[in-house]
Structure 1
């Protein structure tokens, strides 16, 4: 568990260092939530369930329930990615406000973590409001046109207020399609970004006032 020796820091930096410590610790929980969401999505993505005693017929009630669970899992995973994104930015702000600790950060690993995350989940910073307030995106025509994707010179308006296409969760935000692949590969990529960040911050735990 990530832990700092707060008593060894200047008093003026301790509150920010405590926030840094808390945010770093929360990243593992966010990753665990993302992995759980992807696992639920995968568990509900198998062949349609069959009626008891009649393998030739689909149990539509269970099938629709599984579809809803897949959607809930994919949307939950998207929120976990966004939370991870926000926590990273909070960590970066805290580091800037802790001049005693800032020089100890492994810059190469920090950059590696940022690149791994950005490559796996590009432009995810803009997805939060659309996920949390999806109904607002369709509350009037002006908002629909703002968020919608309009190919073919605007002759066709496409608004995805959260959708699953294959194994990809998609949503349109400000005329752009955002989303992520709900897969074990995405779990591995988020874990790689987390591991690189924890490695970058590891030296901070060793700081002791002389």
Structure 2
């Protein structure tokens, strides 16, 4: 039976302390804990996604509202994942010895992949954390609203004009739009006059998991390998008792 991703645990890494000077061990331990936290943050995303998917199969306004709540949690899990990566790099700046041991290229590539895959993670966090402040004043409302029309299908200005017509496009151009909502499995909000989005699906979760693996691989020279379980042996079968021939006993 396949275990759901949100229930899959991963042991915390242990560093080879003999490779790290005493003066750097505290910061190295922070890095070790943050590497473990990457898996936890990815698991948080999968947990929120499981709730999101479960609610998506329901019908009714209550379930739709709950689904938005689960979507927000997924967005914050991605944000915390990114900040954890940032923390690893900050602490690594205090560990000169580690910088010469780990695969710095693999670590850098993993961070770049995260930032490319989730380019709006900080803006989405700000939109959620400062939701009310976006409408504090008229100035704030104008600052954070997006004037329509919004190109959700990637049609471009000419394509949208053909689909909606000049009159609709002209009317939409004067409407200020501010939203936190869902389009299928995509969470959408606005920040600083920009529409920012992120997908809540298996692809996003798998990217997070692969980045976790990349960080483990980058730091593998200093991570104590997990003990190899002893090989399993077939249970020994006791030898069958010798058979006796009746003719031998009678003679």
Deviations, residues 68-90 of structure 1 (Å, cap 9, x unaligned): 22111110000000000101011
Contact 1:168–1:180 (Cα < 8 Å) also in 2: yes
Contact 2:126–2:191 (Cα < 8 Å) also in 1: no
1:52 match: none
Compared CA separation, residues 169 and 106, structure 1 to 2 (3 A): same
1:96 match: 93
For 1:11 and 1:104, the matched residues in 2 are separated by 16
Most deviating of 25-34 and 130-139: 130-139
2:108 match: 111
Deviations, residues 86-144 of structure 1 (Å, cap 9, x unaligned): 01011011112100101222133223312331232113123322212311111211111
Larger RCO: Structure 1 or Structure 2 (Cα < 8 Å, ≥ 6 residues apart)?
1
For 1:203 and 1:86, the matched residues in 2 are separated by 24
1:203 aligns with 2:221: yes
Deviations, residues 12-59 of structure 1 (Å, cap 9, x unaligned): 2122112112211111111111001111111111252xxxxxxxxxxx
2:227 match: none
1:157 aligns with 2:157: no
1:1-150 paired onto structure 2 within 5 Å: 1-6=12-17, 9-46=20-57, 48=59, 63-150=60-147
Q: 2:204 aligns with which of 186, 189, 194?
A: 186
- The TM-score with structure 2 as length reference comes to 0.70
RMSD of aligned alpha carbons? 2.0
For 2:111 and 2:211, the matched residues in 1 are separated by 7
Contact 2:147–2:174 (Cα < 8 Å) also in 1: yes
Larger Rg: 2
Q: How many equivalent pairs are there?
A: 191
1:6 Cα deviation after fit: 4.2
Query: Which has the larger share of helix?
Result: 1
Unaligned runs of 5+ residues in structure 2 are 1-11, 150-169, 225-251
Unaligned runs of 5+ residues in structure 1 are 49-62
For 1:75 and 1:14, the matched residues in 2 are separated by 36
For 2:101 and 2:16, the matched residues in 1 are separated by 14
1:8 Cα deviation after fit: 5.1
For 2:23 and 2:113, the matched residues in 1 are separated by 33
For 1:131 and 1:79, the matched residues in 2 are separated by 9
Contact 1:116–1:192 (Cα < 8 Å) also in 2: no
- The TM-score with structure 1 as length reference comes to 0.82
2:186 match: 168
